[in-house]
Amino acid sequence: MANAEGVQTLAAMKDEIKHELLFDIIPFWRKLRDDEYGGYYGWLAYDLELDKKAQKGCILNSRITWFFANAYTAYRNGFLTDAECEAAGFTGSDLLAEARHGYEFLRAHCVDEEFGGIYWSLNYDGTPLDTTKHTYNQAFCIYALASYYEASGDEEALALARRLFHLIEEKCTDEIGYLEAFTREFAPESNEKLSENGVLADKTMNTLLHVFEAYTELYRVAPDDEVGARLRRIMDVFADKVYNPAKRRQEVFFDAEYNTILDLHSYGHDIETAWLMDRGVEVLADPEYEEKMSPITQALTAQIYETAFDGHSLANECDRGVVNTHRVWWVQAETVVGFLNGYEKTPEHTEYKEAAIAQWEFIKEYVIDARPGSEWYWEVNEDGSPIPDRPIVEPWKCPYHNGRMCIEVLKRI
């Protein structure tokens, strides 16, 4: 990092975030393990009542598998020590065992062996519940499988990841991008699951981003020319269709031709996209795409800093000119990584370093739920007061964003 004072401040943040990972996030999710039916329990209410018979989202279980695989890889690579893990009540091998538990559930229950692809959700006992095949969901399973392969060396997991990659490319694309929702048999259906704010989208930025994220991970652990070609294609779509240079933002919801259908600025997705695109460029190592994408990621970071960051935390979104000021857990986590990434890429912007530190202070004080047996609140008000009745665990609420924030900080500082 840039200077001694900054290193000391960032180093203190790193120590606190490592503690959060070791003593809070990892132990919390280990306790959600279901040893009777497999996978991880799908619902912990705001009042901390665990529902062992709630549905199990396949996205949730993919993300938990991804998290434990990456926690183990961080341990194996020396970012977590034996002594630190043991002080927190587990071993490095326990992390791999959790990842394996998640993988075995994905393989045995989430995969549709008859029609291919990943279900949307399961009953608590692992039987299919919602058999919708959504491109977003296929992508997250690839993300988990690629990371589990890196952690375990299990070739079966890599083979399944590649199978899902080919399925997406064969069934979930058209000539200009990625489609969204399908029936179990892969007939197209409407996209309620990833449409919000009163619109029904044919295509979304969100799905495109997370296909890119999954393909980046797959390419990183097992480089392949076809995956690399698809990464380039997705970056072209982002640059040419999704990114709005006049507003220095991504558009969010689209018709089939990638025409925007809603004036929406998703602050969290923009700061997340900035660093995920930079990661993809780094993994692909193609100078042409670094030249193409870096100005976009820098503009996204700058625009978020200027319009959405209030000095300590990030608002949620701006829908048709109206700002939603709630502080959502995943948006706050991505803000730490996004600004830290912006500082690394442009170290003259020391304001990004300070923003990452300030954002962590807000998370530490307001977003982390200090109640025993809890983790992070789903969302809090602008003043930090928690919004009740939002669950601590449900199909979207998982250790993917905050756990990834912790691991990214360990690697970057």
Q: Which string of b and e fits 23-36 if b means at least 16 CB within 10 Å?
A: ebbbebbbebbbee
239-248 residues labelled b (16+ CB within 10 A) or e (exposed): bebbbeeeeb
Q: Are residues 171 and 138 in contact, defined by beta-carbon separation less than 8 angstroms?
A: no
Q: What is the pLDDT of residue 28?
A: 98
What architecture is the 4-412 domain classified under in CATH?
Alpha/alpha barrel (1.50)
User: d(Cα 190, Cα 38) in Å, to the nearest integer?
Assistant: 31
* Confidence category of residue 139, pLDDT binned at 50, 70, 90: very high
Convert the pLDDT of each residue in 231-290 to its tens digit.
999 999 999 999 999 999 999 999 999 999 999 999 999 999 999 999 999 999 999 999
Q: Is pLDDT above 50 for 5?
A: no
pLDDT band at 9 (very low <50, low <70, confident <90, very high): confident
User: In whole angstroms, what is the distance from residue 146 CA to residue 229 CA?
Assistant: 18
C-alpha Rg value of the chain to the nearest Å: 20
Instruction: List, for residues 42-58, the tens digit of each pLDDT value.
Output: 999 999 999 999 999 99
CA distance 333 to 163: 31
Res. 30: pLDDT tops 70 = yes
- In percent, the amount of the chain with pLDDT more than 70 equals 98
pLDDT, one tens digit per residue, over 90-136 is 999 999 999 999 999 999 999 999 999 999 999 999 999 999 999 99
Per-residue pLDDT at 204 exceeds 70:
yes
> What is the spatial distance between Cα 191 and Cα 317, in angstroms, rounded to a whole number?
21
Q: What is the pLDDT of residue 95?
A: 98
> Which residue from 227, 129, 243 is spatially nearest to 169, judged by alpha carbons?
227
Q: What is the mean pLDDT of residues 318-324?
A: 97
In the prediction, which pLDDT does 8 show?
A: 57
The predicted pLDDT at position 101 comes to 98
Segments making up each domain of the chain, as ranges: 4-412
